[in-house]
Amino acid sequence: MDCGAPFAVSVNGLALELADWGGGEGGRPLLLLHSLAAHLHWWDWTAPSWTARHRVVALDFRGHGGSAHAAPPAYGFEDHARDVEGVLSALGLRPIVLVGHSMGAYVGAVVAARRPDLVEALVIADMLSTWTAEQAGAAERQAGRPPADFATRAEAGARFRLQPPDTTATPEMLRHLGESGVQETAPGRWRLALDRAVFRHPPVDPWPVLPGIRCPTLVIHGEGSRVMGRAAAERVGEAIPQATVATLPGAFHHLVLDQPEAFSAAVDEWLTAISPS
């Protein structure tokens, strides 16, 4: 499996991990932004398919994967957005296509609205657009859970599960996500590469942000998603001046895992459609 070439940059006082799949010269550069409590290797099944035409890079958000934890904890959407802007400046990638899933889509929306000089196009993939007291309580419970320890990387892979659990991802894919999402903290102790304080983010409220996005935007959701249904996707699309709304058949919330080939193709076809003639 092509997992990209790892490297790191220092942004806002933190070492942030990235992976670079390279790609076609002259094509649009893509920066891939993962979901909450995930990591950049969630893109391992989609990123390689874009390299024939695009330069493809993925980021581990602060507190996730190989990126440093913020001390004291600072995991608001604005914090992540400033990191993305810093990464784009450090790498000289502009204008960029931001491809974000879930929280990554929210962060991408913030960056696109605030920095139109940096963002040429935006993909919002299955983004949460409401925030209830029940969701806030669940997030706080996640933040307060003690970290799980594993005796081996393989054990972490075998025990890995998605939340929400609906998925068509194969056991091999889930194993890869679990194995690539842990670090050895002591001999014989492997732990999720995640600062659980990331769950203590501000309430989700994209509605003040969305009208400020002026670049072409693809809003795409999983057909069976319990996070972003068709009505929610259409409402988000209606709030963005240049939005296209699409449904990915046979996919749930984790659409980049459920239907990676179809997701990649949908994004590529849309990018082709918005290209200048």
Q: Tell me which residue of 106, 123, 96, 99 sits closest to 216, measured CA to CA.
A: 123
Q: Residue 6 corresponds to which tokens in the numbers above?
A: 């790892």
Residues near 54 by beta carbon (within 8 Å), at least 6 away in sequence? 23, 24, 27, 28, 29, 30, 97, 271
Per-residue model confidence as pLDDT tens digits over 219-267:
999 999 999 999 999 999 999 999 999 999 999 999 999 999 999 999 9
Average pLDDT, the chain: 96
pLDDT at 137 over 80: yes
Residues 44-67: what's their mean pLDDT?
96
Q: Using CA atoms of 93, 245, 236, 99 in order, give the dihedral in degrees to the nearest 10.
A: -20
Q: Is the pLDDT of residue 277 over 60?
A: no
For residue 26, pLDDT over 90 is answered with no
pLDDT confidence of residue 270: 97
Query: How many Å is the maximal CA-CA distance in the chain?
Result: 57
- Whether residue 275 is predicted with pLDDT greater than 90 in this model: the reply is no
**Range scoring the smallest mean pLDDT among 25-39, 42-56, 92-106:** 25-39
The secondary structure element, H or E, covering residue 144 is helix 133-144
What pLDDT, in 10s, does the model give residues 147-198?
A: 889 999 999 999 999 999 999 999 999 999 999 999 999 998 999 999 999 9
For residue 128, pLDDT over 80 is answered with yes
Confidence of residue 276 (pLDDT cuts 50, 70, 90): low
* Bridging pattern class, strands 14-23 and 5-11: antiparallel
Give the integer Cα–Cα distance in Å for 239 and 98. 18
Bridge partners (DSSP) of residue 246 are 220
pTM score, two decimals? Answer: 0.97
For 5-148+194-274, CATH gives 3.40.50.1820
Quote the pLDDT of residue 120.
96
pLDDT at 202: 95
**Please, which residues have CB within 8 angstroms of residue 55's CB and are 6 or more apart in sequence?**
22, 23, 24, 25, 27, 28, 29, 30, 93
